[in-house]
Structure 1
């Protein structure tokens, strides 16, 4: 039997190329995470030539940057190809150019991590310095993603030109929003890496301004979280309604939430720098207020999703306040994995409120609580949604089927990840309240009397990490089965239809020039005066951008 692919076969090859890299990164990054949690218990010694911070960097770079970026771009390319139509040969060619830039950059950065010359704990975070080629490699990853972003923009613009006066496909609109957020956020990262860090690491300048570098990094670092999250929201808003047999609650509400994420997620980096001197408290306070505004589109998303669930449940005969809960397709892995990610995201959001609150942040700042928070956001809400997407996306675009047997395996993988993440994240949050450090190996704090309070939680992290590693291995097996061994056939590419009673989409949502302009106004408002202060009040004798830390 010949399989029937749901999108253009040439587009599918480009998408799958991204997914091959993403799931390879998942396997290696998960192994590094497993080693990491066992080292933290003090029960494992790494072989000679490998140190804890090297393993930590591998885990962070592969899972936080490589897995997410490759999967997200592959997913956006697939959804846009399905919703807006196939790419032209020229668009596809640029997509491949971006892909190879990202892949070559990933390999380059990885070489220097493995050589022990880039153990910088994932971030481009001075005063830690890596080999210049590590930074150049990661720069290639970012620039390659920009190239692919412009492919997404061009395809969307071409659809608008071919369909004047019509509302653009929701998935294509969301993909454009996600890549706009990514490109605008990366401007801060590009500035510090190209202007400060690479010249410093090459020895072209003797010193670097730490405060400016960190401020530029966190201008990027917070919207990075929403670059991870918005593709999950794409699946929640558009894919999940179709999977459960329901309708999209509101197209307009979905578009508004994505526009608000562009506006509110970028000019808020100071809430990651609440304990750093050199930034006026007023500007910290202002950006904390802006940070809390992100709660608005998050609550809109929660309302929309649970409204969709309830409406579908009522259609199936549910009664009472929570009768719809029983009507959801719990035995469908395409639904269960994203739904469990949604549930874990609830405490993740609550933890985010703690992290953004000045007084509360002082309790958990630089403790492993922060790591536990990231495991509830990117490693739960995002990763589990990406897994749920994979269960249908891979067979759909390769002309294969998700069999009932493989669906059961996928359900098992979902429960492994959920249980593992519960142990991992809960113990990290608890240990953080006792003051357990965020990134340190056991040997750096062994003998500290406070360590005794952390040990049970470190053991729980090892248990959770072991379960998560099994879940990661099983996920990789599922991926390659669906890509190469699943029976040929036709798998649905689920795109939801908008509810008949939904409001019409206002035309202003399509005006990306307006939203980008407002975003830059907010950025200038939030950052111009603080940057002037940082440069004018640099240490005596320092020429603004080159002070504080030397080689």
Structure 2
């Protein structure tokens, strides 16, 4: 491998770090909002200065669910492409910076409206809740900025393919492109509802909006958003972790195929978030539930590949027995241990996802805080802990510093604190959700007295878990600042695994974009065209807007 591919170019590193600075700032502010939220829900704390509960809820959801994730992922992906496909051209780097600044301007616009209590519309900003038009315009900027940044990655991928005809692209670059394409296709839905419905509505150009169309376009985006979060974690699990443990990737072909399947089966499935809504025929809901469960296939492929890698590494170190490899893993290395905790958390998270997507079981937990607990296991544990694990080597690599032994130990402590806090908080959410506790309420004004009394222990448990999590946020911010500015100067590896020698040659059909994009478009048209026609032809009277404050 060429020497210039072993390290991210300094100019590209600055671009990636700019995204990470915004991401961790969002973590700090969104984490504080989350702490206030669980304290209010406990019934023993009142927000000061007239701040509303739903205002805090919106800040928490938008900053952590959208800003933290999008900026971290794009920053990581810029670094990954630069590391594996070569230094960015000036054009690509310029596009990356344009995308960053457009996203940042949009973030500031939307955040300002939330803080001014002009956009208390929650993370999902469902109509008929209405926000200030600047909030919606800010969202447009964030999405368009992400497209511009993504185009830089696609340009570099195309350049690599032209320079290496007949060869499969670097695996990590290929995964980045899959996730970028997924994001662009998925955000067409949210861009459509914001530009053509919510923005004109908030400006007063139209008096009403079609709520069902708006929600359908949101969830066309909302479910693949989960995979946009998850696939960068899978990149680390597939490509980075094998190198860290001293092993090799089990199969390049299997990894590429699993990512293609995630692309195909993550987008045309939004109806499983709308199972209780009228206006959508049961057949189309059933079809999308079936497509949702197809995602189990690449998930199981991923689990098989990971544990095959672990076992092969253990056998090479002399392990014996069914689980002997487990003792050979580098448990003292935060770069491995922290993401591994995220992997383990994905087991109950995936089981909860099956319940959420199941037509009849969904009736039990729909719009209860069970869904929030599931959300915190998937995004806030599996994904976020993996992001932290990535940061522990990526940040010092990009800043020319090293992960010291002290920071490594603190990182493991941080992950344990996070896992304990999340187990308590998410466990309480799942449990009280089964008792019917509502998803987005503070509980203080919801339900009868007997319900409120029954929920009190779970509310307190959520506050305890949320407080422990806030300690975990403080620790990760301390580590991030240390690695970015104060850690000793040095060379920190950007680990990229190699495939085992015995693996089958990667077939080039896996990079035939004409085939996969045709299949993707066909699946989307099958899943959405007829239902959309029905929604428009049989549309009820459109809704006027209202606000939560």
What TM-score do the two structures reach when normalised by structure 1? 0.97
Distance 1:448 1:535 in 2: 43
Distance 1:503 1:153 in 2: 27
Q: Deviations over 1:68-124 (max 9, x none)?
A: 000000000001100000001111011000000000110110100000011111113
Distance 2:306 2:544 in 1: 48
TM-aligned CA deviation for residue 512 of structure 1: 1.8
TM-aligned CA deviation for residue 6 of structure 1: 2.5
Distance 2:545 2:82 in 1: 49
Residue matched to 1:244:
245
**For structure 1, which runs of at least 5 residues remain unmatched after alignment?**
none
TM-aligned CA deviation for residue 443 of structure 1: 2.4
Residue matched to 2:271:
270
TM-aligned CA deviation for residue 13 of structure 1: 0.4
Check whether the contact 1:5–1:490 (CA below 8 A) recurs between aligned residues.
Answer: no
Distance 2:47 2:524 in 1: 44
Check whether the contact 1:39–1:45 (CA below 8 A) recurs between aligned residues.
Answer: yes
TM-aligned CA deviation for residue 548 of structure 1: 3.6
Greater shift, 441-450 or 427-436, is seen at: 441-450
TM-aligned CA deviation for residue 447 of structure 1: 4.6
Q: Deviations over 1:201-225 (max 9, x none)?
A: 1111010101111011100000000
Matched, 1:233 2:211: no
Q: Deviations over 1:222-253 (max 9, x none)?
A: 00000000000000000000000000000000
Q: Deviations over 1:296-335 (max 9, x none)?
A: 0011001100111111111111100111111111111000
Residue matched to 1:128:
129
Q: Aligned in 2, Cα 1:10/1:311: closer, same or farther, shift over 3 Å?
A: same
Check whether the contact 1:167–1:505 (CA below 8 A) recurs between aligned residues.
Answer: yes
Matched, 1:400 2:411: no
1:12-27 map, 5 Å:
12-27=13-28
Distance 1:16 1:380 in 2: 23
Q: Secondary structure at the match of 1:495?
A: coil
Check whether the contact 2:6–2:83 (CA below 8 A) recurs between aligned residues.
Answer: no
Check whether the contact 2:167–2:508 (CA below 8 A) recurs between aligned residues.
Answer: no
1:97-116 map, 5 Å:
97-116=98-117
Distance 2:215 2:224 in 1: 15
TM-aligned CA deviation for residue 445 of structure 1: 1.7
Check whether the contact 1:18–1:71 (CA below 8 A) recurs between aligned residues.
Answer: yes
Matched, 1:486 2:487: yes
Residue matched to 2:76:
75
Residue matched to 1:259:
260
Q: Secondary structure at the match of 1:385?
A: helix
Check whether the contact 1:5–1:399 (CA below 8 A) recurs between aligned residues.
Answer: no
Residue matched to 2:89:
88
Distance 1:124 1:146 in 2: 21
Residue matched to 1:147:
148
Q: Secondary structure at the match of 1:443?
A: coil
Distance 1:28 1:317 in 2: 47
Q: Deviations over 1:480-522 (max 9, x none)?
A: 1001100011111100000111111111111123211211110
Residue matched to 1:516:
517
1:7-86 map, 5 Å:
7-86=8-87
TM-aligned CA deviation for residue 446 of structure 1: 6.5
Residue matched to 1:293:
294
Distance 2:231 2:385 in 1: 14
Matched, 1:372 2:373: yes
Residue matched to 2:539:
538
Distance 2:469 2:437 in 1: 21
Distance 2:7 2:477 in 1: 22
TM-aligned CA deviation for residue 453 of structure 1: 1.8
Distance 1:219 1:178 in 2: 16
Check whether the contact 2:443–2:452 (CA below 8 A) recurs between aligned residues.
Answer: no
- After superposing on structure 2, the runs of 4+ consecutive aligned residues of structure 1 that deviate more than 3 Å are 548-551
Residue matched to 2:201:
200
Check whether the contact 2:233–2:383 (CA below 8 A) recurs between aligned residues.
Answer: yes
Matched, 1:475 2:476: yes
Matched, 1:456 2:457: yes
Residue matched to 2:446:
445
Distance 2:430 2:25 in 1: 29
Greater shift, 498-507 or 273-282, is seen at: 498-507
Check whether the contact 1:5–1:398 (CA below 8 A) recurs between aligned residues.
Answer: no
Residue matched to 2:466:
465
Check whether the contact 1:210–1:549 (CA below 8 A) recurs between aligned residues.
Answer: no
Q: Aligned in 2, Cα 1:42/1:5: closer, same or farther, shift over 3 Å?
A: farther
Greater shift, 115-124 or 383-392, is seen at: 115-124
Distance 1:45 1:35 in 2: 9
Q: Secondary structure at the match of 1:401?
A: coil
Distance 2:298 2:144 in 1: 29
Matched, 1:284 2:285: yes
Say what the alpha-carbon RMSD is for the aligned residues. Answer: 1.2
Matched, 1:211 2:212: yes
Check whether the contact 2:62–2:123 (CA below 8 A) recurs between aligned residues.
Answer: yes
Distance 2:485 2:348 in 1: 37
What TM-score do the two structures reach when normalised by structure 2? 0.97
Distance 1:69 1:513 in 2: 27
TM-aligned CA deviation for residue 457 of structure 1: 1.0
TM-aligned CA deviation for residue 478 of structure 1: 0.4
Distance 1:152 1:328 in 2: 33
Check whether the contact 1:124–1:193 (CA below 8 A) recurs between aligned residues.
Answer: no
Aligned length: 542
